Amino acid sequence: MIKSLLESEEIKALIKANEFNMLSLFSEIFNENSYTRILSYLFNSEENHGLNQQFFRSWLKKIDNLDFKLPAVKNSTIKSSFNWQTHDGRFIDLVVQVIDRETGKVTHVLGLENKKFTKESESQLSDYQEDIIGTFDEDTDKVIIYMTPKGDKASSCSDDEDIDSECPCISVSYNSLVETCEEKFETNNCDILLLIKHLKNYIKHHIVYGASMRDSKRNIVNSISKNSEYKKAIEEIIKYYPTFKTIRNLVYEDILPELLDRYRYVRIAWIYPSRSNTPHEINFEINPKGKSIKELLGRKKISFYYMLHSSTPNPHIGDEVCIRLMAWCGDGYDYVKSSQAFAQKIKKADIFNEDLSTPRQWKPWECLYSGGTYNLQDMGEQDTESIVELIGDCVEETYKPLEDYIKSIK
């Protein structure tokens, strides 16, 4: 029965729906910022991709109602800026400037705002329009592009006719990028062509057609469940499968209550990815007794968490988890320099007795201490007991030294 199920056309269709894509390997961390950086690289004619202006100009042709008459390629250069900061402190995902080679004047400017699943905040695009108008000369052609999976109409553009006339806001779908990536580009750089291919597949399957792909998988599974032979095979798999309990269930239902019995205050600050049942990052805020570190820090923009982390994107039985004391030094995805400096000062002070592995760093985190590791065994009592002890050992080793150090420098 099980062999028949595994060899069925339905299972083959499910496997094909999950066909390899290079960027999907990083799906847990590959976000709007990630592919905006890739676009910034491909749009910039001064980068080393060998495309010159081909990618940017090709994409512009896919945008309806855009009246941009760019100067000849030989007379211009294109510069792109990721996370362009406006005068009021907001960030435009990407700003692209077309510059006249002879005069150095900006002839055209385009602001791009990506929204994968979220909506704009209040007056977001209106603020961007006003900033672009205030920054560039009156005779510079300007536009804000609002890109969503389906090309949804923006709700936060300016109502002022003069602003909309000088810097219109145009909605476009991610499909414009898919179509651009399907173009044939003149370059000998095979690595760039491979990047474009995988970017196309990622956007197509994970953003543009993500919902329809999920529906397709659901229909396949429904078809399997209606087949009496396959249904019996599934029942046998469920009967002998070790457990369907997830790491999220384990943490909230078993580990958290145990920690609350042990410490004065425990809170799960956040998990990543936030909606996943199998997150690979769970951040605990723990206060064994007395004043919390947060209270001692006052107004410093830094937070400390005990991170239960797995290098496996969807950890389950057999996968390794580790515990780390981490300093969050960020505002969004950017470092707060004063917080980073404070975290690095703690690291240099060498206040912990032992560090069981090399500390890691990834923006905007600073790893202060790496504790023990553990391989998940049963998603039950054994894992609960072992992970609680893993976290407890790390807290025992780090909390008081960190508390004493912060008190000493206040």
**Residue 75 in domain:** yes
State both tokens at 387. 């992970």
What's the pLDDT tens digit per position in 33-89? Answer: 778 889 999 999 999 999 999 999 999 999 998 989 899 999 999 999 998 988 888
What's the pLDDT tens digit per position in 315-351? Answer: 888 899 999 999 988 765 556 788 888 888 888 888 8
Report how far residue 306's alpha carbon sits from residue 322's, in angstroms, rounded to the nearest whole number.
10
92 with 143: CB under 8 angstroms?
no
Q: What is the mean pLDDT of residues 167-186?
A: 94
Considering the entire predicted model, what is its pTM? 0.54
Q: Does the pLDDT value for residue 153 go beyond 60? A: yes
Report how far residue 189's alpha carbon sits from residue 289's, in angstroms, rounded to the nearest whole number.
59
What's the pLDDT tens digit per position in 263-292? Answer: 989 999 888 888 788 888 999 999 987 667
pLDDT band at residue 126, thresholds of 50, 70 and 90?
A: very high
**Residue 25 in domain:** no
- Alpha helices (H) in 99-142, listed in sequence order: 124-135
- Angle formed by the axes of helices 210-226 and 9-17, nearest 10°: 160
Instruction: Give the DSSP H/E element, type plus range, for residue 318.
Output: none
Task: Kindly state whether residues 292 and 197 are assigned to the same domain.
Answer: no
**Residue 24 in domain:** no
Task: Kindly state whether residues 134 and 274 are assigned to the same domain.
Answer: no
**Residue 23 in domain:** no
Task: Kindly state whether residues 147 and 169 are assigned to the same domain.
Answer: yes
**Residue 102 in domain:** yes
Task: Kindly state whether residues 128 and 231 are assigned to the same domain.
Answer: no
Neighbours of 106 (CB within 10 A): 18
Which comes out higher in pLDDT, residue 120 or 211? 120
**Residue 26 in domain:** no
* Interstrand relation of 320-328 and 330-331 (parallel, antiparallel or unpaired): unpaired
- If one counts the domains in the chain, the total is 3
> In which domain, by residue range, is 9 found?
2-16+211-240
